[in-house]
Amino acid sequence: MSISNLLIIFSSSFMALFPVINPLGNGFVVNGFLIDLDAGQRKTAIQKLIFNYVLIGIGTLVIGHLFLLIFGLAIPVIQLGGGILICKTAMELLSDTDSSEKAESNRNITGSKWQNIQQKIFYPITFPISIGPGSISVIFTLMASASVKGKLLQTGVNYAVIALVIMCMAAILYVFLSQGQRIIQKLGPVGNQIINKLVAFFTFCIGIQISVTGISQIFHLDIL
């Protein structure tokens, strides 16, 4: 067990997870949900989101395989179901009205807006938007490559490095969301709407790709 090996595991895990988790792109989508909240509510929502994010990521690392065994699930099935959920969420984002119009119409119902966001923090904001089935499948793949047969301690250390990468992803998302309001203000309502729609469209495409990947593995097809 050497430092160089741990650095290789860290860098390879980071490179594998970053494009799938995509904390920057997902940050724009999440900002669309939080746009009508005041500073205090936004801070609370972000903290809960990050907590759920880390819980799902580390939980997958710790008990993921056990969870699959208990429910008799396979990763391709999770990819298919999660991809459908992502597509559904993206369609809702694409059909939303302009955020500025929503802000105007919701000025007098801030409380109900906050309650609505609280109900959505875990689903769909944290899962499957911020961290979804694609990310979980990559974590499973990293776990398989980091496992060392007959060496429990080394395997545990390798898993800890993967957990550190997940924490780094959460930190990037936290920083982006914390500064997201300033970015939105600089972009203006029109620029923000354009970015939200573009990100929602690409989120829809990601959902389709995850679903197709699941289907191809279930039916042993060479689609992609």
First-to-last C-alpha distance (Å) of the chain: 37
Contacts of 202 (CB under 8 A, 6+ apart): 25
**Mind listing the pLDDT tens digit for each residue in 49-62?**
999 999 999 999 98
Handedness of CA 140, 142, 144, 147 (dihedral sign): negative
Q: Are 159 and 143 in contact (CB under 8 A)?
A: yes
CA angle 130, 135, 139 (to 5 degrees): 135
**Mind listing the pLDDT tens digit for each residue in 152-186?**
898 899 999 999 999 999 999 999 898 877 776 77
Residues of the chain with pLDDT > 70: what percent?
Answer: 92
CA distance 199 to 24: 10
Q: Are 169 and 24 in contact (CB under 8 A)?
A: no
Query: If we measure between CA atoms, which residue out of 165, 169, 136 comes closest to residue 49?
Result: 169
Return the pLDDT at 220. 86
pTM: 0.74
Contacts of 195 (CB under 8 A, 6+ apart): 28, 187
What does the mean pLDDT of the chain come to? 82
Work out the pLDDT band at 203, boundaries 50, 70, 90.
Answer: confident
Residue that wins the pLDDT comparison between 35 and 80: 80
**Mind listing the pLDDT tens digit for each residue in 96-136?**
655 444 444 444 445 677 888 898 899 888 988 899 877 88
If you average pLDDT over residues 4-22, what whole number do you get? 88
